[in-house]
Structure 1
Amino acid sequence: MSFSKLSILLGAIGLTVSLIGCTTTTTPLSKNQLMTNSMNHLTDSTPRLAIIAAFGQEADLLIESTKDKKEYIINGRKFVTGTLEGAEVVITLSGISMTNAAMTTQMITDHFNLKGIVFSGIAGSLNPDLHVGDVVIAKSWLAPNEVYYNNTKDLPSACGKPGDISCLGIKLADNVPAWKNQFLRETNVMNSSNYKSVALTSKFGDTDVPMAYGEMRVDFPVDSKMLNMIDKVQKPTETKLEPICSGANCYHPKIVIGQRGISSGAFLANAEYREYLHKNLLGDCVDMETAAVAQVAYSNNIPFIAFRSLSDLAGADHDPNVAAFFGSGIAQRNAAKLTMAFIDQWKGQ
């Protein structure tokens, strides 16, 4: 056995022993203690629907319509509670980037008692059949920056067999073609429902050693009940959306149920990569926040859905109308209309 593989084995066994040690030396919480801990919220315990917006104008539109407003500043971020369309809500901005979005989502989860999360903003289109101004509601969200970056285009075989990288504590996504030398990985996620489960093992000799707990996932689905509510608001809300006009030509935006949304810390301005994401990952829209919000929501067992209004075709030649579209506020107003229509259906949940 090579020194490097021996080191991995010893590290893996050490990790497993430490986890077992933690399990055997920690006194399990009673059911009442678990319930009490889950009900403690740092700022406000009123059950609320969280609305997280990517841009300030949309949040301002929603806050203007909110009644009985109360403002909290937490670590420099503003959170506004109140009643919107008859539902108790808390509204905030995510900030741009995956890290800001994840941090804000966990913060709002810790400080407020959330019954659900709605995330809304602008995105680039990955699907050439969609139109600027359309609002996409993806069924699931994925972050393609979780990759194994190989030296070659050959299938990685870090642990002996082609495609096996389990001894590193990670796993390749099944049946997803690589982007050049980058192979998509599954993401490890833990929550209160799965943390005792072994998500990934690797064989060292005759021993299957646990390498990760929880589960391994490629993407994070939106809540099925939330998605079903869209059927009731889709057509009535479409008639109220503002048209996108260029000269005398106008397009009336549609609300589209998409297959998958894509999020990454990189701003996508590459047509070849856009085509890869659309063809191989079934992506319809791309942004820099939503998949992070989806993962945090999943980790906290909180129902989640996202609305994204398309600003342009990602990676296409520069369109001078994009800046005008951003500046007009039409996308933000249309997204806000869909959000309010959804909340009207959501209240009472």
Structure 2
Amino acid sequence: MSKPSLSLNIALISGLAIFAPLQAMANTETSQAPIIIQGAMPVEAEHFAAKLENAKERQIGEWRFWQGTVEGYPVIVSETLKGMSNVAAATSIAAVEFKPKAIINQGTAGGHDPALHVYDIVVGKYSVNLGAFKTPHKLQGAGSNSVDWKPMDLMASKGSAGEDKNAHSIRQFAADAQLMKAAEQAMPAYTQGKVVEGVIGSADVWNSELDRIRFFHENFNTSVEEMETASAAQISSLFNIPFIGIRVLSNNITNNGKYDAQTGIACQDYVYDVLKAYIKQINAQK
């Protein structure tokens, strides 16, 4: 077998010399795990997606993802669709497909706290599942009273939730401390209402009974309710992904606060400032 010519060897070496820095550059660009920004509906996601630099839309099943950057850092906006199951699926897809550094779930919510008004924002120090309850045993004809229901912690054990003696307390999913710090740093710039820390309640239920809302507020300290945050927080915790929920009040029936669709835009603008503060933290740690 003849030996490669000198000119061929030179060409191969030159090609490798050119390819090596390109490969190193590619590795550097992809070494940063992206930050996921979740919104359930188009009105809660598309405004944020428009802020991304060089965004490309990707469809996985019925879920939309926009991949781009903010200030050079990879960011993915995820339209999760409404409800606990949809957001759980979207969060699982994001965890496996994109391996994110953090997840921020944001959007609109209804108020539980009479002291909060439309356009006020709740940074979820905790989120809770308001749809996991066990009813007391009652005979036929004895009626039903939701305030007698006891919360179940579906993550308390691997046994039957209905028979688990340790499951009768509500699970609080705590926000990541670094994300909380970023949210606090962004608070002064928000001028359309006040920003407070609180508890976000989630369930596939639309509550309009004031007594039921007061029960949640007084017993579980809920500030707002919606249909996604606690589920996304639960899945994030199982993947060990830092998480925070941020919600703007689009209405509050406890004080006659009327629905305003534009609140979703205001929340995305605030979360954009939270994101930039978080990216600064990441860059400072390098």
Q: TM-score range by the shorter chain?
A: 0.7 to 0.9
CA–CA distance in structure 2, aligned partners of residues 96 and 315 of structure 1: 23
Listed as ranges, the gaps of 5+ residues in structure 1 are 1-43, 154-177, 190-198, 203-210, 242-252
Match of 1:238 among 190, 198, 209: 190
Is the Cα–Cα contact under 8 Å of residues 173 and 234 in structure 2 kept in the other structure?
yes
- Alignment partner, residue 219 of structure 2: 280
Listed as ranges, the gaps of 5+ residues in structure 2 are 1-29, 140-144
Match of 1:151 among 137, 145, 153: 137
Query: How many residues end up aligned between the 2 structures?
Result: 241
Match of 1:228 among 166, 181, 185: 181
Match of 2:197 among 233, 240, 257: 257
- CA shift, 1:145, in A, is 1.8
SS at match of 1:68: strand
Q: What do the CA deviations read for 1:55-101 (whole angstroms, capped 9, x no partner)? A: 21332211212112222211132211110243211111111111111
Identical aligned residues as a percent: 23
Q: What do the CA deviations read for 1:298-328 (whole angstroms, capped 9, x no partner)? A: 11100011111101224676x6x42xx22xx
Alignment of 1:185-334 (within 5 A): 185-188=152-155, 199=157, 218-235=171-188, 237-239=189-191, 241=192, 253-258=193-198, 260-314=199-253, 321-322=258-259, 325-326=260-261, 329=262, 331-334=263-266
- Alignment partner, residue 58 of structure 2: 72
Q: Is the radius of gyration larger for structure 1 or structure 2? A: 2
CA pair 146-220 structure 1, distance change in 2 beyond 3 A:
same
Higher share in strand:
1
- Alignment partner, residue 156 of structure 1: none
Return structure 1 stretches of 4+ with deviation > 6 angstroms.
Answer: none
Q: What TM-score comes out, normalization by structure 2 length? A: 0.77
My pick for the range that moved more, 137-146 or 178-187, is: 178-187
SS at match of 1:51: strand
- CA shift, 1:181, in A, is 3.4
CA–CA distance in structure 2, aligned partners of residues 254 and 226 of structure 1: 18
Is the Cα–Cα contact under 8 Å of residues 82 and 89 in structure 1 kept in the other structure?
yes
CA–CA distance in structure 1, aligned partners of residues 271 and 201 of structure 2: 20
- Alignment partner, residue 139 of structure 1: 125
CA–CA distance in structure 2, aligned partners of residues 75 and 116 of structure 1: 22
- Alignment partner, residue 86 of structure 2: 100
Is the Cα–Cα contact under 8 Å of residues 234 and 255 in structure 1 kept in the other structure?
yes
- Alignment partner, residue 3 of structure 1: none
Query: Are residues 1:90 and 2:76 paired?
Result: yes
Q: What TM-score comes out, normalization by structure 1 length? A: 0.64
Is the Cα–Cα contact under 8 Å of residues 178 and 278 in structure 2 kept in the other structure?
no
CA–CA distance in structure 2, aligned partners of residues 257 and 316 of structure 1: 19
SS at match of 1:180: helix
CA–CA distance in structure 2, aligned partners of residues 312 and 80 of structure 1: 28
- CA shift, 1:261, in A, is 1.0
SS at match of 1:274: helix
CA RMSD of superposed structures (Å): 2.5
CA–CA distance in structure 1, aligned partners of residues 75 and 246 of structure 2: 17
The residue type paired with residue 333 of structure 1 is: I
- CA shift, 1:222, in A, is 0.8
Is the Cα–Cα contact under 8 Å of residues 182 and 275 in structure 2 kept in the other structure?
no
Is the Cα–Cα contact under 8 Å of residues 143 and 291 in structure 1 kept in the other structure?
yes
Query: Are residues 1:346 and 2:261 paired?
Result: no
- CA shift, 1:343, in A, is 1.2
- CA shift, 1:179, in A, is 4.2
